[in-house]
Structure 1
Amino acid sequence: MDVEQWEIRSGRARAVVSAHGAGLRVLERDGVPYAETYAADQAPPMGAGAVLVPWPNRVADGQWPLDGVTQHLNLTEPDRGNAIHGLVRHEEWTATARAQDSVTLSVLVDRRPGWPFTFETTVTYFVDDSGLTVTHGLRNLSEDPMPFGVGTHPYPRPGNADVDDCALTLAATTRLPVDPERLLPSGPAEPITDFDFAAGQPLRGVVLDDAFGGCEPGADGLVRHAVTGPGGGVEVWADAVFKWVQVYTAAEFPGKGQRAVAVEPMTCPPDALNSGEDVLVLAPGDSWTGSWGISWVEGEGA
């Protein structure tokens, strides 16, 4: 796969971003990986690094109501009968601004089946000594208000540590029950009772593909999740609008030979276009921005 890519650097930090889906392919400090990576000529495995706009996760049967009319999206997860992860993760994005430590990519999405809106979306990646900051932008180019959600699909990596030797900390307070066959919501969010994500849940033996909600920002106004071990680790932070986080434990990340964990900030839960829960709305001509990022947690060997 021959795709344009951009390397950005600052001090000890380095990232590589792909034009394919504007995906994050590499994040490292001093050569130590802080996001799972894949080869430059390889398609992103398991959604790695993907931008999920204008909805994250799944839409049941690819159908959702808009002003009394049922919209029919393409079924991009045909085995489960769902539309998944928005419209832009397989698009070829264009760089609109470039510096040594940052790159901004953009793509225009015209009306699609089941999506009667035109919008432009951007993403800016910026690295510094603290880590990576990612800022998403949307501009509604349609004549009608556009509902939307934003998500992202990083696999934060705790340096050279084995994920199974680490603990997962989440700012979430609820979990959304799902149908195990289609991974669609089967009821309202419920308090988390079987994991201690507040204190740090050991990941060994834990299998997850779950959406967690009620993500509470700290005193600095940011939602913070982390994968950490004795030698440090990695933190995923996000603006308060990212009230949800999907966590997926991959049995083996391609090319790694070990487990990996995706920690995916989302502004809304799965199937939000049907439930309406935490769906954002952008007026004609208006713009929206929201940020998240990955930072390293210091520790011996981190």
Structure 2
Amino acid sequence: MNPRQYRISSAGYSAAIVLEGAAVRMLTHQSRDLIVPFAPGEPMPDYRGALVAPWPNRIPDGRYSFGGLEQRVPINEPSRAAALHGLVSHAPWSLHHHDEASIRLLHILRPSEGYPFELRLEVSYTVDEAGFHTTITTTNTGEHTAPYGTCPHPYLIAGPSPLDAWHLELNASTFLDVTPDRLIPIQRKAVDGTALDYRRSRPLGGTAIDHAFTDLRPTAAGRRGVTLWDPTGTGVAMSWGDACPWVQIHTADHIIPERHRIGLAVEPMTCPPNAFNSGDDLVVLLPAMTHNAQWSIHAL
């Protein structure tokens, strides 16, 4: 077994987890890819399958204010002058438990430049007949109240057809409008009458999406989610609970041809982009407080 990769499997589902970023390197059902994989030993491209914390998406200029203090985290997306996807997406995690159908990984986030807080993050991945399940449990182990947010970063695959042919259903009535250059949030808008209304399943077509959605209508079971169908009849679904009132959808438009629109990024988020500044749905962790979030992926 590769010491940096661990496999879990059950009921036709199989996943490979790497310690870098606690990333899900591959996820299949009956040997069919449900997410865009990357090769064993390859550096994780485009945050593919990573776990994101302590903020999802971007902080413009890396600047925010919390508890009356100005902070600046390092810029890691220079093209947009932004701090992207938190601090643990490429960090080494450690193995806490592993068996045939489950794995738990641990990371201690120490105080650092612009984020002077300490968190204990534990993620569990399990597979069963209902699919692939993730739970992230985060505890503030420091002395100071900490701002926090999290999300996953899988690129879902509906089937063998091009992404433009896939049918998306996302029961969200509001999206977050952003600037076209740096994707800085401007305001919430209704999806009515826009190209971003997927409340009824329809093809993605050539629409480029890189937006956060909210006002997500849950099912009778209290779950929010998306379904993605290929014209050939295969599909994939992702669902999550109340801890994630937002979801980022991205059609993976890319300047590198072999990475262009090869999967649909679906990122259920505990807060929207730039929540460290707006405060919208921001999780505020008091010392010793714990927060849980959960999401699942299953084949259709």
Return the alpha-carbon distance in structure 2 between the equivalents of residues 42 and 60 of structure 1: 29
The question of 1:200 aligning with 2:198 is answered: no
Contact persistence 2:53–2:85 (CA under 8 A): yes
The question of 1:279 aligning with 2:278 is answered: no
Q: Which residue number in structure 2 is paired with residue 211 of structure 1? A: 212
Q: Deviations over 1:249-272 (max 9, x none)?
A: 124688678632111111111100
Q: Which residue number in structure 2 is paired with residue 145 of structure 1? A: 145
Cα distance, 1:3 vs structure 2: 6.8
List aligned pairs for 1:103-142, cutoff 5 A. Answer: 103-142=103-142
Cα distance, 1:213 vs structure 2: 1.5
Q: Which amino acid aligns with 2:190?
A: P
Unaligned runs of 5+ in 1: 298-302
RMSD across aligned positions (CA) = 1.7
Report the TM-score when normalising by structure 1: 0.93
Number of aligned residue pairs: give it. 295
Change (3 A) 1:112 1:205: same
Return the alpha-carbon distance in structure 2 between the equivalents of residues 3 and 39 of structure 1: 15
Return the alpha-carbon distance in structure 2 between the equivalents of residues 171 and 254 of structure 1: 31
Contact persistence 2:251–2:261 (CA under 8 A): no
The question of 1:79 aligning with 2:67 is answered: no
Identity %: 34
Return the alpha-carbon distance in structure 2 between the equivalents of residues 135 and 160 of structure 1: 29
The question of 1:241 aligning with 2:240 is answered: no
SS of equivalent to 1:177: strand
Q: Which amino acid aligns with 1:73?
A: V
Q: Which residue number in structure 2 is paired with residue 300 of structure 1? A: none
Return the alpha-carbon distance in structure 1 between the equivalents of residues 180 and 296 of structure 2: 30
Q: Which amino acid aligns with 1:291?
A: Q
Change (3 A) 1:212 1:9: same
Return the alpha-carbon distance in structure 2 between the equivalents of residues 23 and 143 of structure 1: 29
Return the alpha-carbon distance in structure 1 between the equivalents of residues 227 and 18 of structure 2: 25
- Give every structure 1 segment of 4 or more consecutive aligned residues whose post-TM-superposition deviation is greater than 6 Å: none
Q: Which residue number in structure 1 is paired with residue 20 of structure 2? A: 20
Change (3 A) 1:184 1:258: closer
Report the TM-score when normalising by structure 2: 0.94
Cα distance, 1:16 vs structure 2: 0.4
- Decide which moves more: 161-170 or 5-14: 161-170
Q: Which amino acid aligns with 2:278?
A: S
Q: Deviations over 1:26-72 (max 9, x none)?
A: 11011111111010121111111111101000011101111221101
SS of equivalent to 1:79: helix
List aligned pairs for 1:259-274, cutoff 5 A. Answer: 259-274=262-277
Contact persistence 2:173–2:197 (CA under 8 A): no
SS of equivalent to 2:80: coil
Q: Which amino acid aligns with 1:295?
A: H
Return the alpha-carbon distance in structure 2 between the equivalents of residues 219 and 204 of structure 1: 30
Q: Deviations over 1:113-170 (max 9, x none)?
A: 1111011111111111221000011010111221211111111111434322211111
Return the alpha-carbon distance in structure 1 between the equivalents of residues 235 and 202 of structure 2: 14
Return the alpha-carbon distance in structure 1 between the equivalents of residues 96 and 211 of structure 2: 35
SS of equivalent to 1:274: helix
Change (3 A) 1:159 1:131: farther
Contact persistence 1:149–1:268 (CA under 8 A): yes
